[in-house]
């Protein structure tokens, strides 16, 4: 059975395609929904067409746990209207997907220095900015 990973944008697709190719995952398609507002709709369409399992991965766009939980519940409810809960998963990363790499062990594995205290503080609210700074770019990173 095919698994569809629905993300917000092209850089998210690039990240997950790279992770999936290294992990040897089977029949997985990573899709760019072209924005958060389209992501739920695309995920619902895939579920309604019974095309396979769906994993919806989005930025929470907040560090507030209560607001993130509310958004996750809303997304779960929207997808649950068209499919059994066993056929989908909703994953929110707070505040943004780039927070996944804002760990010293990740930087050490890449042969880089740990985050400075200032970068660590900024990464709590704007990990994308810290990642761009650390990689020396002024544009979002396409993994």
Among residues 98, 11, 3, which one has the least CA distance to residue 43? 3
Compute the distance between CA of residue 42 and CA of residue 128 in angstroms, rounded to an integer.
25
- Lay out the sheet containing 28-32: strands in order across: 28-32, 3-7, 53-59, 88-93
pLDDT tens column, 56-91? 999 999 989 999 999 999 999 999 999 999 999 999
CB-based contacts of 93: which residues, under 8 Å, 6+ apart?
A: 57, 58, 59, 60, 99, 100
**Does pLDDT of 143 surpass 60?**
no
34: helix, coil or strand?
A: coil
CB-based contacts of 31: which residues, under 8 Å, 6+ apart?
A: 4, 5, 6, 7, 13, 42
Look at phi and psi of residue 34 and say left if phi exceeds 0, alpha if psi is from -120 to 50, else beta.
left
Q: What pLDDT band is residue 137 in, cutting at 50, 70 and 90?
A: confident
In this structure, what token pair is assigned to residue 118? 């200032």
Peptide bond into 49 cis (omega under 30): no
pLDDT at 57: 94
Q: What pLDDT band is residue 135 in, cutting at 50, 70 and 90?
A: confident
Strand partners, 5: 30, 55
Neighbouring C-beta atoms of residue 58, cutoff 10 Å: 23
């Amino acid at each position: 059975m095919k698994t569809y990973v629905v993300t917000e944008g092209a850089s998210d697709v690039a990240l997950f395609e790279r992770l999936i190719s290294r992990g040897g995952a089977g029949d997985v398609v990573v899709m760019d929904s072209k924005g958060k507002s389209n992501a739920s709709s695309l995920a619902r369409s895939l579920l309604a067409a019974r095309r396979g399992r769906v994993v919806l991965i989005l930025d929470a766009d907040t560090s507030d746990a209560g607001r993130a939980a509310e958004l996750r519940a809303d997304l779960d409810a929207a997808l649950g209207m068209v499919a059994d809960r066993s056929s989908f998963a909703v994953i929110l990363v707070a505040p943004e997907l780039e927070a996944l790499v804002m760990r010293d062990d990740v930087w050490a594995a890449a042969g880089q220095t740990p985050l400075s205290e200032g970068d660590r503080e900024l990464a709590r609210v704007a990990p994308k900015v810290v990642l761009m700074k650390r990689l020396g770019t002024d544009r979002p990173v396409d993994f």
